Amino acid sequence: MRTILVLMDTLRKDYLSTYNPTTNVLTPNLDAFAEDSLTFDNHYIGSTPCMPARRDLMTGRLNFLERSWGPIEPFDITLPKVLAEQEVFSHLTTDHTHYFRLGGEGYINQFTTWDFQRGQEGDPWHSIMRDPEWMPEQYHGRLRKQYQANRELWHENEEAYPTPRTFASACDWLETNKGEDDFFLQVEVFDPHEPFDVPQKYMDIYQKDYSGPFFETPVYGEVDVPAEAEEYIRNRYSALVTMTDVHFGRLIDKLKETEMYEDTQIIVTSDHGYFLGDRELFGKNYMHNFNELAAIPLFVKHPQGKKAGERTDEVTQNIDVMPTVLDAFGATTPEEVQGASWQPIFEDEPRDKSFALYGAHGITVNITDGKYSYFRSPNEENQPLFEYAGIPTTIRHYLGEADPAAIQTGRFLARTEFPVFKVPIKRAAILDGLPDVSEYTKDSLLFDLKKDPMQQNPVIDPEIEERYKTHLKTQLDILEAPVE
């Protein structure tokens, strides 16, 4: 048995023709792969953003119910470690630099081996003290000096960009291990995450002419650029999606060349979406988890070709990856895993999951059954709020730095005897650096997804809202959310 998980960061489903036939974005390799796969129409995130989503994938549990951005904990039971007990080899190839920053500890160490392609975002890689060769004087959005330094090492040389290098690394690994069995390969690219840096030949597909200031990384918040720049950044994203698709195609070609395509389970998904001017907003994290963020693509190719070219409306999310992979290898899923395997879907058997719960720690909690989506807003009076962490790191800093005397320690999590830090939180950690953004999540919202799939018109119906509020409370109990 072989399984490959391909994770493309920030990949929006509505930019893919399999989900949106009217899109102008070219993804011929994903389109062809969908013909060999089961396409999931109701697949959702779990925890956001990047590292919380990866802990979901790695542990089959919802990270955001206990903490925000953070590492693999010493008490976590992870997918690669369970596979290792079954003598299944695991390998990760990635360009995701957050694994190597404060708050990303322990993830790569779960794998038997791993490979890292450097240079994405603000990766402190190209070590120059001078200013980078090209620092535009005029620009929209954000400009990272370190990223401008890194791009000197690949500018306009497509094969040297991080995403092509990551897929090439995966192809090399497959060539080296041609014909082997019992492995789990995770191929993870940061694209099409911002900065939307892409060779000009891909931009030429979508927009050859642009005379405005340099722009490839929006500032999170309300759209703050002219209309032509807003259109341009969407085109840059589209171009990056197309480049990512090209190199995904090379991975598929290598699998076919090594005769490992047909009988390998291949899962392709993302971690979350992104606002590209939708609802007059840029970015993610600070607003409600509308489907632009929460409804993500999922294609699963069965190793025996079952349900190829078909679709399912089963409600799924990324915490289901771990039990699905373990199921395929014949391994027992640990009791603490909260996800549910997708294997019954391929056998037309009932599956014990009807809701997806998702959100961000300290911001919102959301639930959907594919018919309605309910967004429960935070409330300033809802105190206390805590993060529970065995390792108290978060994105680029430490939890509780402002008031360490208020931190408690104890055995607060039912599933482990490990003592953890119980850190009081007044503001969500992933909102650090942003102004007061509470306006964007001040109201709880209910949407009828059948009548209003674009989530434009909130439903005002106290009876239905009460029903989904009850569903939400029930799921929070089932998923062992801390009592507060």
Least trusted range by pLDDT, from 68-77, 246-255, 273-282, 429-438: 429-438
Residue 484, domain member (yes or no):
no
Residue 380 in this model has a pLDDT that exceeds 80: no
When pLDDT is averaged across residues 474-480 and rounded to a whole number, the result is 95
- Could you tell me if 459 and 446 are in contact, meaning their C-beta atoms sit under 8 angstroms apart? yes
Residue 30 has pLDDT above 80, yes or no: yes
The pLDDT of residue 434 is above 90: no
* 361 and 301 in a common domain: no
Eight-class DSSP state of 328: H
Higher pLDDT, 293 or 428: 293
pLDDT digits (tens, 9 = 90+) for 393-419: 999 899 999 899 999 999 999 999 999
CB-based burial, 366-392: b 16+ in 10 Å, e otherwise: bbbbbebbbbbbbeeeeeebbbbbbbb
pLDDT for 219 beyond 80: yes
Q: Mean pLDDT across the stretch 188-196?
A: 98
Strands (E), 84-132: 89-94, 113-116
Confirm whether 483 is domain-assigned. Answer: no
At 362 the pLDDT is: 92
In a domain, 448, yes or no: yes
Q: Could you give the CA distance from residue 410 to residue 389 in angstroms, rounded to a whole number?
A: 11
Task: Indicate if 146 and 246 belong to the same structural domain.
Answer: yes
166 and 120 housed in the same domain = yes
- Predicted confidence at residue 156, as pLDDT, reads 86
Confidence of residue 155 (pLDDT cuts 50, 70, 90): confident
Mean pLDDT of all residues in the chain?
Answer: 96
| In a shared domain, residues 299 and 387 | no
**328 shares a domain with 398:** no
With cut-offs at 50, 70 and 90, classify the pLDDT of residue 136: very high
- Evaluate if residue 4 carries a pLDDT over 90: yes
**300 within domain boundaries:** yes
What confidence score (pLDDT) does residue 429 get? 87
Question: pLDDT digits over 336-352, tens only?
Answer: 999 999 999 999 999 98
Could you read off the pLDDT of 355-376 as tens digits, one per residue? 999 999 999 999 999 999 999 9
pLDDT value for 57: 98
pTM for this one?
Answer: 0.97
What is the reported pLDDT for 454? 97
Among 356, 374, 404, identify where a domain stops.
Answer: 356
209/67 same-domain check:
yes
Residues 80 and 215 in one domain: yes
**Full residue range of the structural domain in which residue 408 is found:** 357-478
Look at residues 333, 356, 379 and tell me which one is the last residue of a structural domain.
356
Sign for the pseudo-dihedral over CA of 388, 393, 395, 397: positive
**So what's the pLDDT on residue 426?**
87
Nearest to 297 by CA among 483, 48, 20, 26: 20
CB–CB of 245/270 below 8 Å? Answer: no
Per the DSSP assignment, residues forming a β-bridge with 410 are 420
Residue 382 has pLDDT above 80, yes or no: no
Name the residue with tokens 């979508």.
Answer: 206
pLDDT reported for residue 35: 98
Count of domains for the chain: 2
Are 210 and 248 in the same domain? yes
Over residues 57-86, mean pLDDT: 98
Query: Is residue 153 domain-shared with residue 264, that is, in the same domain?
Result: yes
Length in residues, the chain: 484
The answer on 119 and 16 residing in a single domain is yes
pLDDT at 28: 98
Q: Which residue is associated with the tokens 């709880």?
A: 444
**pLDDT of 420 over the 80 cut:** yes
* 277 vs 269: CA distance, rounded Å: 23
Angle formed by the axes of helices 28-35 and 227-257, nearest 10° = 50
Same structural domain, 464 and 416:
yes
CATH number at residue 149: 3.40.720.10
Task: State whether 286 and 370 are in the same domain.
Answer: no
Contacts for 174-180: CB closer than 8 Å, 24+ residues apart = 174/251, 174/254, 174/255, 174/258, 174/260, 175/254, 175/258, 178/258, 178/260, 179/258, 179/259, 179/260, 180/2, 180/89
Distances in whole angstroms, Cα of residue 456 to Cα of each of 123, 208, 292, 448: 38, 33, 12, 10
Q: What percent of the chain has pLDDT over 70?
A: 100
Of 303, 322, 356, the residue that ends a domain is 356
Q: What are phi and psi of 237, to 5 degrees?
A: -60, -45
How far, in Å, CA of 375 to CA of 19, rounded? 23
pLDDT tens sequence across 260-316: 999 999 999 999 999 999 999 999 999 999 999 999 999 999 999 999 999 999 999
